[in-house]
Amino acid sequence: METAPYSEIYENSDPEQSFNNFSSSILLSDRMLTSSHGCITKQTGAEPARRIQKKNAARRKKKISSVSCPSLVSSVSKTSNSKDKSESKDISVPKRELHFRKSKAQTHRLRIRTVSERLSMLCLPRSRYMRLQQPHEYKMKLPLLVSITPENEKSERDRFMRANFNYNPFFVYRCAADERMMEKFNTPSDYHLKKAINIMDSVISEFGSYEEFEDTSGGPVLSRSQILALVKRYLKKEKLESEIKVNLSEDLLSTASMTQKKGWPHLTVRVLNTREYWCDGLLQHEIGTHYLRSCNNRHQLWASPIQREEMMLQHYNPTEEGLASLHSVINRPYPYLWRAALLYYVTYKAAHLSFRDLFADLGKFLKSPSTRWDYCVRAKRGQTDTSVPGTFCKDQVYLEGALQLLKHRHTLDFEMLMRLGKIAHEDVDRLSELSVLDNTRIPSFMMDMKKYICQLDYIAECNGLTDSVLWDMK
């Protein structure tokens, strides 16, 4: 028996009657399906029913995984009417899954992004992927002294020693240093060269060699535990135990350094060849000078670089390092400015010699190969090919600053120089009226200023720096 198509039935009959016929046909088909399903379950048993349940569960999982953007579903459900909501129940996640996701979002307070927010994220001017694809456009910004520290210093040192000092190291760096800063420190001065040589000659004439001077004046070499004990004792004496963290290192080029890490001051001390009688001077250099002056600087009007520029202040170096150099030797029985003088000499010679020739030239003042290596690396740092002349002459500020302060030791207010923070000694007089002295600190060895000035006089006398020699300087 042939039946007419649905279109003909709807066209030739009453709409209400056609709708009743259509709904009755749907009910009849549902009954036939349920009865047939019951027959199937009766005939085949429980195993096919379980298979059907597994298939339905797998279909539900596929539907859930096909919904890639929850925000799209949420945005559609908000804008659609009630009829669309009833139709979307067939393709949505089961109630248990919805309840689980809702409770998880509430506990973690997650916010689902809208479609416009997701599109705006895709339209960013530069994504992280683009940055990774073009690393040459983004240079790492590191502090100057960190960027010029060789990464292969240990391996090149071993190779240099095996070659019997007849080799020019080839240094590798983490990233390129600022060329403008390197140009600033590539032209050393020879103005104080004679004074530096005279200081070193006076030490050798009195003790015979630097190594003998080091053993006599510096005392025995300390272990790691002994270094930590002396540092803690010094911090307790200065009431700074809760302010500074202490680290020990074997790779540090200098004897110690004061740095800021995650907003917390860190003192790093080199373990190798740290002497007992020189340890206090090392701490007075880093903590008693650099750290306290930086703390005092925060209370002043010129704390920011912009304000310093507006007030036309001079750079705090060489005053900063010169004062620290004086504080390193102020309590020693033989307060020779040996290290400051040798650094001045080495940085000047490095501008005219290769690494190998500079190492040989230092044999006039130093016998130890390891000590000579350390000084040569400091002078040649920042240089890749050390076979050509070149230098990093920033280390000349130690002797230059110390000589300037000794020249004005009877007229300069050293207490104000400490309390005013990181300023040059030329700016002390004009900044004293603008200073904020509340909560500023000075080290314990500066409490008695009369004794302090007498100690400076002894430093000048011991190094052969008479008033006539000092006042002949510019």
Query: Could you tell me if residue 3 is left (phi over 0), alpha (psi between -120 and 50 degrees) or otherwise beta?
Result: beta
Distance CA(42)–CA(418), nearest Å, equals 99
Contact at 8 Å (CB) between 445 and 292?
no
pLDDT(118) > 50:
yes
| Residue 47: band (very low, low, confident or very high) from pLDDT cuts 50, 70, 90 | low
Nearest in space to 196 (alpha carbons), one of 367, 373, 347, 353: 347
Beta-carbon neighbour count of residue 300 at 10 Å? 21
Query: For 454, phi and psi rounded to 5 degrees?
Result: -65, -35
Residue 142 or residue 413, greater confidence: 413
What pLDDT digit, counting tens, does each position of 267-289 carry?
999 999 999 999 999 999 999 99
The distance of Cα 260 from the centroid of its chain, to the nearest Å, equals: 8
Q: Which of 1-10, 50-59, 139-148 has the lowest mean pLDDT?
A: 1-10
Tell me the β-bridge partners of 221: 275
Place of tokens 């006539």: 468
Query: For 140, phi and psi rounded to 5 degrees?
Result: -70, 130
What pLDDT digit, counting tens, does each position of 171-224 carry?
999 887 777 777 888 899 999 999 999 999 999 999 999 999 999 999 999 999
Compute the mean pLDDT over every residue in the chain, rounded to the nearest whole number. 81
* Amino acid 5: pLDDT: 46
The packing angle between helices 449-462 and 319-329, to 10°, is 90
- Active site (catalytic) residues: 286
Distance CA(182)–CA(390), nearest Å, equals 11
Q: What is the mean pLDDT of residues 231-238?
A: 96
Q: What is the mean pLDDT of residues 311-335?
A: 97
Residue 471 or residue 23, greater confidence: 471
- Interstrand relation of 256-261 and 245-249 (parallel, antiparallel or unpaired): unpaired
Q: What is the mean pLDDT of residues 234-262?
A: 92
What pLDDT digit, counting tens, does each position of 128-162 carry?
434 444 444 444 567 777 888 899 999 999 999 99
What pLDDT digit, counting tens, does each position of 339-396 carry?
999 999 999 999 999 999 999 999 999 999 999 999 999 999 999 999 999 999 999 9
